[in-house]
Amino acid sequence: MLDALRAEVLEANLELVRRGLVLYTFGNASGIDRETGLVAIKPSGVPYETMKPSDLVITDLDGKIVEGKLCPSSDLATHLLLFREFTGIGGVVHTHSEYATAWAQAGREIPAYGTTHADYFYGPVPLTDELTDEEVGGDYVLNTGHAIVRRFHAPSGSLDPQAVPGVLVRGHAPFAWGKSAMDAAHNAVLLEAVARMAYYTATLNAACGGVSQALLDRHYFRKHGAEATYGQKSRD
C-alpha cells in the first residue's frame, strides 16, 4: 500500500541522518496521501540503518493502523493533528537538532537576523507557549500539536504555515513541515542552519535587531509566490 509514499518517507527520514539532525533513533518524518487521507510514518525506536520501506507504518488521520507490523512513532498524534489543521502540507518532520532545540529550551523564537533566514521563513521562527501541567499529564503528544496550532492561530496575529514552515515547541524541540515528506526534511535542515547562524549572531551582537521588513520581503518573495524570480523558468 502506498509504495511511493513509503519510499519517500523513508528517504526523508534518512535525509535527517545524512544531515546530522538526529542521533540514534531520535526524530521522525511522515507524509500524507491527501487522496486517501492515509499517512506513512517512521516506526518507533527502529534504527535508521536497518529501516526498510515496508517498516513504515500506514495510519488514517485518526491514528488507526491500516498497514504495518510495527508500532508507529510515539509522536504520531502531533503529526496527525498538523495534517488535519494545516491542510496545505504533505509532510511533517520532528527532530532534536542541536541549535534549534537550544532555542526551544531557552524559550526564545529565532529572529530573522539575515537574508538566509528570510529566504525560507517569512519572519521569526515562532515559539509555542509552555504546556500546562494538565496538558503534560494528559494526552501529551496530542497537546503538543495543539500548542503548535494555537501559536499559528494566535489572536495576537495568525501565521501562515506555508510561509513559516517550522516551529519551536517550548522546552522541547523543533517541528517542520512542507509540501511533501522530502520538502519537510529540507525545511528541517534549513531550520537547523538558521538556528545555528542566529545563535552565533546573538552571541556576537546581542543588540542585533534583524533584517528590515523591506529586506525580509525582498528575499522571501524572490523565492516564493506568484512573482518569484529565483531558479529556472520556462522561456515558452
Residue 234 included in any domain: no
Q: Which of 140, 200, 217, 230 is catalytic?
A: 230
For the chain, give the mean pLDDT. Answer: 95
pLDDT > 80? residue 117: yes
Residue 32 included in any domain: yes
pTM reported for the whole predicted model: 0.94
- Residue 119 annotated in active site: yes
Residue 233 included in any domain: no
pLDDT > 80? residue 137: yes
pLDDT computed for residue 4 by the predictor: 95
Q: Which of 33, 48, 119, 199 is catalytic?
A: 119
Residue 228 included in any domain: no
Residue 157 included in any domain: yes
Residue 230 included in any domain: no
Instruction: Quickly state the pLDDT bin for 236 (edges 50, 70, 90).
Output: low
State the total domains in the chain: 1
Contact 192, 184 (CB under 8 A): no
Residue 229 included in any domain: no
pLDDT > 70? residue 234: no
pLDDT > 70? residue 168: yes
- pLDDT, tens only, 56-101: 999 999 999 999 999 999 999 999 999 999 999 999 999 999 999 9
Residue 160 included in any domain: yes
Tell me the CATH number at 17: 3.40.225.10
In terms of residue numbers, what domain contains 21?
3-223
- Residue 236 annotated in active site: no
